[in-house]
Chains A and B, each alone.
Chain A
Amino acid sequence: GNSVTQMEGPVTLSEEAFLTINCTYTATGYPSLFWYVQYPGEGLQLLLKATKADDKGSNKGFEATYRKETTSFHLEKGSVQVSDSAVYFCALSVKIIQGAQKLVFGQGTRLTINP
């Protein structure tokens, strides 16, 4: 089946630390991969995406590379800020039928950055 496994949280870091949140997936075919971020009391915001193997998605200093050989899409940031505190979700897209698609999400990783 199709599934996403994320690094368990919570993750607590100091400001300016290096961040890695691990994400591995199981899927048939070659799905697109996404990272979404959810701030307290809000919906999901797309952070970055990659649509094929070896693609690197990047946004706001965050990066993730689509690794087909290791079925991974780890999220990294070189220097985190307090404002990065949120819950991060890794997701993949799955074709349901022709002309329909759904997102399959991991369980989320709560990140807290201390000043």
Chain B
Amino acid sequence: DAGVTQSPTHLIKTRGQHVTLRCSPISGHKSVSWYQQVLGQGPQFIFQYYEKEERGRGNFPDRFSARQFPNYSSELNVNALLLGDSALYLCASSFWVDNGYTFGSGTRLTVV
């Protein structure tokens, strides 16, 4: 079975632009979470979605938004990009909201 897939793998954007990152969970997993990992640090929680509803949000500005589709895939959107948004964005899926997270390989976003 395919694991958690994220696209694109790498991305370079200019300050002020908008970006959309995509995540396909493991088949049968209904929950998707997003994390931001700045170089040299541990991942920070951004969002959790379950059954297309937002179930949790981390301490990130409103420039960050996400959604989950009927097939349980998810998008993370970031508006008005700042240099500080440069990071590895990780998607994790699980069957339920509280167990067995499986992470994707991430999307590395560079803002210049």
Q: Which chain B residues border A43 with CB–CB below 8 Å? A: 4, 90, 103-106
Q: Which has the most chain A C-beta neighbours within 10 Å: B44, B58, B101? A: B101
Seed contacts A89-B42, A100-B56, A108-B40; 13 additional CB < 8 Å A-B pairs: A42-B105, A43-B104, A43-B106, A89-B43, A91-B42, A97-B55, A101-B56, A102-B33, A102-B48, A102-B56, A103-B35, A103-B45, A106-B42
B: residues with CB less than 8 A from A are 4, 33, 35, 40-45, 48, 50, 55-56, 58, 90, 92, 97-98, 100-106
Q: List residues of chain A with CB under 8 Å of any chain B CB.
A: 4, 36, 41-46, 89, 91, 93, 95-97, 99-108
| A46-B101 Cα distance, complex, nearest whole Å | 8
A42 to B9, CA, bound (A): 10
Chain B residue at smallest Cβ distance from A41: B105
